[in-house]
Amino acid sequence: MRFLLGMAVSLAGVVVSVRACASHTDASNFTIAMVRTYPPNWPLPLLSSNWTGITMNISQAVDKAVDLIQEASHENASLVLFPELWFPGYPMGFGDDTNWPTVLLPEYIENCLTVGDGNWARIVDSVVDTGVYVGLGFCDKTTENIFMGQALISPSGDVLIHRHKLRPSGSERDMFSDGTMEMLEVTTTRYGRIGMLECYEHFWPSMTLPMQAQLENIHLAAFPYLVDDSNPQKQWYEGTFVNMAAETHYAVLSGAYVFHTSVGTSWVISPSGEVLTHVGSTVDMDTTPIVYYGVNTTGFDTTATYDVNGEVSWGVVKQIYDGFPSYIPKDPGTFVDFASIPIALEQSGNYNGTPPAS
């Protein structure tokens, strides 16, 4: 385990980081700015799925992102982290609204990012201009599919990580295609080994174990939105406690600091499972659009990329395989079959929301 001291104080129930005046490259106070405000042209208040009168606009989302990156840079942030699918916004109501597949989905796809397009270039230009790392959560549009994408961009504009959610959750899988296992990667930076996962990937061993085996120092956890547990309108998966619990387990097993952000909530969990800072959904997102927290990275060992004797190692995976209950058939089933939805079908206006058979 690697335990290092972060710094935070609590004022009027809002936890705000204590940040020394330092450059973006201060290894002793590597500060991550967790964006918790909403993208433009997205249903509000939180939990709303009413898109009436809303016109999606990826250009305006990028405009707001650039402003947030610049704001974080002025506050001496080292890395800016955006929620899952912040570009152009999480598709609230997709699984419940019959208009989504035929009416809203084609518009949504038109407002997704494509790596290397003009809007992508604007984000990269902002990264280079400000000299910070940026972790993106975006709808990733290719010529064939749309994916739930994440990317980590370096201060020089290099793409250090580009990945897709391995298995979209629930009704997301009726809209987004699957990612692949090789995208579960951790990258070494001069400030530590950094990895990323999205939302409920933090619950499932097929996503968590390959990441934890790679000895992250800093883990970036992007959720689309969350609310406080006191909100009576939430579904169980939209609350804080269950998701914080999963990330606490992730932090302890990986030995990494977990930086969580979503529209509404942000927090940081130490490698020992301590919640170091937490801002809930009742805190106004316009007055507090970003939560900052810094850690001392000077003690991180970036030379170690795996541990053959660790709790998350090949030996442990093999032990699980060898000891799997013998009465359970070694039948892979269909759950993990790769799911791919043609973008042409989704853009046609005739998609009924049920993916075609593989």
pLDDT digits (tens, 9 = 90+) for 149-184: 999 999 999 999 999 999 999 999 999 999 999 999
Give the single-character DSSP code of 224. Answer: E
Better pLDDT: 95 or 177 = 177
- According to the model, what pLDDT value does residue 15 have? 36
Domain range 29-348, its CATH number among 3.40.640.10, 1.10.3720.10, 3.60.110.10, 3.40.50.2300: 3.60.110.10
- The reported pLDDT for the residue numbered 96 is 86
pLDDT-based confidence at residue 24 (cuts at 50, 70, 90): low
Global pTM reads 0.92
Q: Write down the residue that tokens 């973008």 correspond to.
A: 343
User: Looking at residues 127-144, what average pLDDT do you find?
Assistant: 98
At 202-221, the pLDDT tens digits run 999 999 999 999 999 999 99
> For 120, how many CA atoms within 13 A lie in the half-sphere containing its CB?
20
Please determine, for residue 68, whether its predicted confidence score (pLDDT) is greater than 70: yes
